[in-house]
């Protein structure tokens, strides 16, 4: 796992969502996460199913944020859980050993260590910078990336207000993936935005 971890915005317009996502996938995305906290069940199923088809077309794995039943129904590639969702251990028990289970760990290294112990596939830290999409405390110390790489055997994701420019110091510290929403979905040229993130790992 290395590169851009693209997370979808809360867009109800499925056509627009798919169009921008496909442009991003064409430029090279490491993982795609479907996240729409406010959608109804029918819209979630429609959008996630269409995104999964795009991911299969472009050889990218699709992660479902939180909704394990949706992941199971679609046979998506895994789930991502936050601090108020079901635990990593519960998700791993339900999904078995072959699916991806990601965990939000904020700025909490012991939480990340527990996630690894419980079967997580990767851990995500942040927010590091203010986000245009999500509201959270911007309190995560960049030093946690190096600490995590020293004591964990899992890929490390950094989240929160990420652009290619402000992600660069975190990649230099060892971040395996950079999660982004607005920097790609609201970019005038989504493919160029993706290439900017990919360039961080080509240096």
Active site residues: 35, 104, 134
C-alpha distances (whole Å) from 173 to each of 119, 141, 157, 164, 193 are 24, 12, 12, 14, 21
3-state helix, strand, coil in the chain (%, to 5): 45, 20, 40
Question: What distance in Å separates the CA atoms of residue 194 and residue 81, rounded to the nearest whole number?
Answer: 24
Q: H-helix or E-strand containing 164? A: helix 164-172
Q: Which residue has the tokens 């207000």?
A: 161
Alpha helices in 6-163 (DSSP H): 14-27, 41-57, 68-74, 88-95, 109-117, 143-151
Residue 20's φ and ψ, nearest 5 degrees, are -70, -40
């Amino acid at each position: 796992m290395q590169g851009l971890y693209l997370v979808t915005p809360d867009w109800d317009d499925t056509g627009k969502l798919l169009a921008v996502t496909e442009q991003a996938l064409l430029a090279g995305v490491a993982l795609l996460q479907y996240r729409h906290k406010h959608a109804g069940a029918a819209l979630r199923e429609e959008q996630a199913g269409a995104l999964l088809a795009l991911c299969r077309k472009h050889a990218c794995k699709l992660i479902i944020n939180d909704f394990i039943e949706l992941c199971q129904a679609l046979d998506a590639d895994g789930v991502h859980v936050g601090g108020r969702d079901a635990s990593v251990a519960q998700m791993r028990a339900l999904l078995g050993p072959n699916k991806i289970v990601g965990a939000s760990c904020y700025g909490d290294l012991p939480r990340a260590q527990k996630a690894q112990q419980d079967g997580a596939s990767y851990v995500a830290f942040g927010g590091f910078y203010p986000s245009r999409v999500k509201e959270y405390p911007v309190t995560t110390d960049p030093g946690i990336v190096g600490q995590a790489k020293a004591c964990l055997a899992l890929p490390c994701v950094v989240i929160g207000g990420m652009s290619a420019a402000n992600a660069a110091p975190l990649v230099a510290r060892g971040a395996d993936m950079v999660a982004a929403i607005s920097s790609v979905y609201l970019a005038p040229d989504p493919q160029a935005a993706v290439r900017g993130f990919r360039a961080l790992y080509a240096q």
